[in-house]
Amino acid sequence: MTQRVLTTESGAPVADNQNSATAGAGGPLLLQDQHLLEKLARFNRERIPERVVHARGSGAYGYFEVTDDVTDVTYADFLSEVGLRTEVFLRFSTVADSLGGADAVRDPRGFAVKFYTRQGNYDLVGNNTPVFFIKDPLKFPDFIHSQKRDPFTGRQEPDNVWDFWAHAPEATHQVTWLMGDRGIPASYRHMNGYGSHTYQWTNADGAAFFVKYHFKTNQGVRSLSTEQARELAGKDPNSHQTDLLQAIERGMHPSWTVYVQVMPAAEAAGYRFNPFDLTKVWPHQDHPLRRVGRLVLDRNPDNVFAEVEQAAFSPNNFVPGIGPSPDKMLQGRLFAYADAHRYRLGVNHTQLAVNAPRATTAENYGRDGLMASHAHPRDRKNYEPNSYAGPVETGRPLSAPVAVTGWTGTHAAPAHPKDDDFFQAGELYRLMSDDERSRLVANIAGGLAQVSREDVVERNLAHFHAADAEYGKRVEEAVHALRED
């Protein structure tokens, strides 16, 4: 049988469906990558009106307070003074299910924070896990398709879930997180949050640093077993929403201590693995946690639809002193998130109360479009430069520039000495207690044993064997035992 050729929607053959085009190996993504933009733009428009991912969500207002001086690594205004408070809105969510799904399910949780700073809104879009399943945004639509409802059966299919993971060995680390004890948080209050991506901070002298964010829950980490989650999801599908709402109403304001890991930019190229790889963590012995502040939630929204469902977060909403890194997944999301909101909520979604700046005023030349709410004086021009005292550029970049070299094209990430897809999954497994390992193995085997194709099962087993010999052996034995029953 002749193999069919993958093409773009215009019929052009696709040369590489695994690597986005970058400015040299390891460089930023290129806007000219039509295949990537087409995939992400179409993916964002697949469903209306709820989000394609992170549809089921809860949120609350609060504040972020600086507790430690970090001005040596960033000149961001909201981090400039110990004791300074900034209003925030935090949206929690599950990832794969629809708006009517249950809260107590085995799924990563979104952890998206909007800081209403004096220099504009800063959005930090993260999860409750420090890593993710893939490292290139070109694979994101395919990944989500494999995890959501099958277009024919209308349900999530183990064959699809595990077949994608079988072809994505880099997912092994996140699969180990997801299937472990922290895969089902007991509530939104009892889980950590992570920026997950690598970001860039720049200090007042122009020195650049790469950072990773950690939000450590002050309520303590609590999770549910598979059996507890099934029971709770049946009794109260809104369990996490109910818990968050009632805790804040009772005055039990949840809080998180915020830390960063800091890497001088010059160290990135020589680090033992790619520091911009979203499937890996930075070991704390290399880059210890450095405390920055605390985040407190103390006010519930008045209207869930207006303030939670219409909340729009985009990782390209930076403020001076903070910027992106060459993390390919982050680079793809810089486009995809904002594009999704313009489609779902309209081009003027930033004028909605929950999304508008609060500590400053937006000044730009955007006009008109669906649901435009701003009335401008008749002499206010809609072009720049102009001779009528309109807003002007500052001439100062938000963050330090990143040097790029090499040929344009689709590149795999540059190789570092420890760049493999399995060693951190193995390290995570070896950190677990015997009981944690047993539950992890049972959770993986319970899903993998339902897969109908033996070759898909074997591909996945090979990943666990590569991570740790005992890990692979135990999963293989558990899967075979379930398949023989």
Which positions are annotated as active-site residues? 54, 127
Of 73, 169, 188, 200, the residue nearest 128 (C-alpha)? 188
CA distance 59 to 92: 6
CA distance 379 to 269: 51
Centroid of chain to Cα 25: 23
Which amino acid is located at 439 in the chain? R
35 phi and psi angles, rounded to 5 deg: -65, -45
Written as six digits, the tokens of 227 are: 């059996």
Written as six digits, the tokens of 186 are: 């007991």
Helix axes 172-179, 423-431, angle to 10 degrees: 20
Of 109, 165, 110, the residue nearest 133 (C-alpha)? 165
CA distance 174 to 180: 10
Of 284, 225, 285, 298, the residue nearest 256 (C-alpha)? 298
Judge contact between 382 and 390, C-beta under 8 A: no
CA distance 353 to 151: 36
